[in-house]
Amino acid sequence: MHVAVVDPGVGTDRRGVAIAAGEAVLVGPDNGLLSWAAAATGGARTAISLTNRDLWLTPDAAPTFHGRDIFMPVAAHLAAGTDLASAGEEIAVSDLVTLPPPASRVHDGTAEGEVLTVDTFGNVQLSISAADAGRIELSATAGTSCCAAGAGS
């Protein structure tokens, strides 16, 4: 059971979903956030719109606290054995919002990629694979520093 709540659309009509993917169940907003996790765990098999208010913390969820009022309570019910289908209405997996995969490319001895994460120590995870780093002879050792950064570079 995995719950994710990065939800700039909270309080709008974006739906909450539970997704069966591989051996995992993912719960959160249908804004693309769960798409990479679904792909990494074997692909979405079933998707449910979280419309069963009986599983929510309160039937009148606060418009800005869907993580607390909807996603976590539904996830708790599912983790305790409630059937996924009882969480709401089934929707087509193809109707889920997805994010494009992170882009990277190697060209003329350089690699271009996207920043995926930055931790509190300043370490940056890029979309450039180890194989691509090897193609430009960049060693992937701890403390490696490289890169030019900037908007559009």
pLDDT digits (tens, 9 = 90+) for 100-152: 988 888 988 888 889 988 999 988 888 888 888 888 877 655 555 555 554 44
Residue 72 has pLDDT above 60, yes or no: yes
Average pLDDT, the chain: 89
pLDDT in tens, 30-67: 999 999 999 999 999 999 999 999 999 999 999 999 99
Q: Is the dihedral of CA 98, 93, 39, 86 positive or negative?
A: positive
Structure tokens at 123: 């370490």
Q: Which amino acid is it at 125?
A: Q
Could you tell me how far CA 67 lies from the centroid of its own chain? Answer: 14
For residue 103, the model assigns a pLDDT of 87
For residue 70, the model assigns a pLDDT of 97
> How far apart (Å, rounded) are the C-alpha atoms in residues 18 and 30?
9
DSSP 27-57: EEESSSTTHHHHHHTT-EEEEEE---GGGSS
The dihedral over CA atoms of 5, 63, 73, 37, expressed in degrees to the nearest 10, equals -20
Token pair 């780093």: residue: 133
How far is the CA of 57 from the CAs of 20, 53, 73, 93, 141, in angstroms? 22, 8, 6, 26, 47
pTM greater than 0.85 (yes/no): no
